[in-house]
A = this chain, B = another copy of it.
């Protein structure tokens, strides 16, 4: 299994390129996104260590993938006839459910609810530690939540003022009132 190192911001694959393998995040973080003609960007997913990404419907990538920070990935060559289909289906389905759940956030939740949903999700994926190190910038979070970076920043400030979160550094978050945060997601 060939492993690869990616510097912060470097491309892992791009939309339209040939899709020949899947990837597993070894360490770091990967953003999957799509662009509109005028540059608007929507990040459809962040992938953390242990997660698999690179699924495509045909032999072309429909999305871009970039390393958020310094990141290491393993790539797995997957042919159509491989035995892996059986093990891949559950992963693909998990991704499908996640994407559909994110549609609810983007379509029907307001800014505070979106940020709360993001934080809850990140915390749960990091294994329930009470301190979270965000690998991505406010801009990345905004493009994931369909907001402007200023709105994301304002919501963080509001959550801090209300004592729901603590910001140990710009990207280190501690949940003070887990209950309040979870209730914001409904």
Contact of A44 among B42, B55, B103, B145 (CB under 8 A): B103
* Total copies of this chain within the assembly: 2
Contact status A103-B103, CB under 8 Å: yes
Chain A, range 22-39, C-beta contacts under 8 Å to B: 32, 34, 36-38
Q: Verify B40–A97 contact, CB threshold 8 A.
A: no
What is the interface of chain A mostly: helix, strand, loop, or mixed?
A: helix
Q: Mind listing 23 A-B residue pairs with CB under 8 Å?
A: A34-B100, A36-B186, A40-B108, A41-B108, A42-B103, A44-B104, A55-B96, A56-B93, A56-B97, A57-B93, A57-B96, A57-B97, A62-B97, A62-B100, A85-B86, A89-B92, A92-B96, A99-B99, A99-B100, A103-B103, A103-B106, A106-B106, A107-B145
